[in-house]
Amino acid sequence: MVEVKERPAARSEQANRMAHSFHKIGVIGAGQMGNGIAHVCALSGYHVLLNDIAIDRISEGIATINGNLARQVSRQRISDEERQAAIKRISPAKTLGDLGDCDLVIEAATEQEETKRKIFAALCPSLKPETIVGTNTSSISITRLAASTDRPERFIGIHFMNPVPLMELVEVIRGIATDNPTFEATKQFVAKLGKQISVSEDFPAFIVNRILLPMINEAIYTLYEGVGNVEGIDNAMRLGAHHPMGPLELADFIGLDICLSVMQVLHEGLADSKYRPCPLLVKYVEAGWLGRKTQRGFYDYRGDKPVPTR
């Protein structure tokens, strides 16, 4: 029996149909990344269902989106009519089952593989067979996450940069089983959001974090070894390399727990000692000093202005 292969043109038409049929987007996680993704999707005309483990978190996420939209209005980037229309497109989804009629669901929960696997196990039975599942993971294997679902061919990495409404880039990552229509439909969806795409192979931390996080980790080693203090290191990179933020300030912005998680993925996945997380980073995370979100990290944010903690 001769296998009849699908023609590239047919695959492209299927991808176009899938992308054009995206009407409702589910977002799992109403934190900084999740509410940012919901924000840009709603502003681009999609109806969005926002889910989190507690209704209070969803309400806080929607309030944050409204505030960020208002900030865009004040800076004349959008009109107030666009703000009102966007916020009306966002609805709370109290349970994962409420996402059942979404055409695309993007998971933006905490950067822990076991947590993500549990979410996918609970989510997939409620979805339509044709629904695409995306993950906003910044470092974890797409192939491995896809294998924990009932639709590895319709599973893909869609890694937004933080803060989502401002950053232009989205990394798109195929797992080994991701089919071409899913890949093409995802690229068209990202383009509709007004973002630029970087396609990455499915290797630990992809492109941006493969380069960025070791730099941040090295800055923490520089602090740990006493080469410079917090202000000296950040000023050196701001003024000497024209970085908009110093690496320690950036680490606080990202979240030191996220930085540690990505470095652990790199260290374990690539088995190279150059990716070993700095012991000082580990200590800060153990102390619960995670950066801006906990008011203390390499800087203390509890006063009128940030003060270095070392």
Res. 243: pLDDT tops 70: yes
When mean pLDDT is compared across 5-14, 89-98, 166-175, the lowest value belongs to 5-14
pLDDT of residue 17: 55
Q: Are 135 and 142 spatial neighbours (Cβ–Cβ below 8 Å)? A: yes
Complete domains list, the chain, with CATH: 8-200 (3.40.50.720), 208-308 (1.10.1040.50)
Active site residue 171: yes
Per residue in 201-212, pLDDT (tens digit) is 999 999 999 999
With cut-offs at 50, 70 and 90, classify the pLDDT of residue 7. very low
Res. 234: pLDDT tops 50: yes
Per residue in 161-176, pLDDT (tens digit) is 999 999 999 999 999 9
Res. 20: pLDDT tops 80: no
Res. 120: pLDDT tops 50: yes
Nearest Cα neighbor of 185 from 259, 284, 103 is 103
The amino acid present at 61, given as its one-letter code, is G
Spot the catalytic one: 138, 139, 141, 261. 138
The three state secondary structure string of the chain is CCCCCCCHHHHHHHHHHHHHCCCEEEEECCCHHHHHHHHHHHHCCCEEEEECCCHHHHHHHHHHHHHHHHHHHHCCCCCHHHHHHHHHCEEEECCHHHHCCCCEEEECCCCCHHHHHHHHHHHHHHCCCCCEEEECCCCCCHHHHHCCCCCHHHEEEEEECCCCCCCCEEEEEECCCCCHHHHHHHHHHHHHCCCEEEEECCCCCCCHHHHHHHHHHHHHHHHHCCCCCHHHHHHHHHHHCCCCCCHHHHHHHHCHHHHHHHHHHHHHHHCCHHHCCCHHHHHHHHCCCCEHHHCECCEECCCCCCEECC
Spot the catalytic one: 68, 139, 209, 217. 209
Placement of tokens 């000692």 in the chain? 273
Active site residue 209: yes
Per residue in 252-283, pLDDT (tens digit) is 999 999 999 999 999 999 999 999 999 999 99
Active site residue 159: yes
Nearest Cα neighbor of 35 from 79, 70, 67, 80 is 67
Per residue in 127-150, pLDDT (tens digit) is 999 999 999 999 999 999 999 999
Res. 10: pLDDT tops 50: no
Q: Are 263 and 213 spatial neighbours (Cβ–Cβ below 8 Å)? A: yes
Active site residue 47: no
pLDDT of residue 21: 73
Determine what percent of the chain is predicted with pLDDT higher than 90. 93
Spot the catalytic one: 159, 200, 217, 249. 159
Res. 2: pLDDT tops 60: no
Mean pLDDT of 81-109: 97
Average pLDDT score, the chain: 94
Cα 157 to its chain centre, rounded Å, is 9
Rounded Cα gap, residues 142 and 157, in angstroms: 6
Res. 6: pLDDT tops 50: no
pLDDT of residue 167: 96
Spot the catalytic one: 107, 111, 171, 249. 171
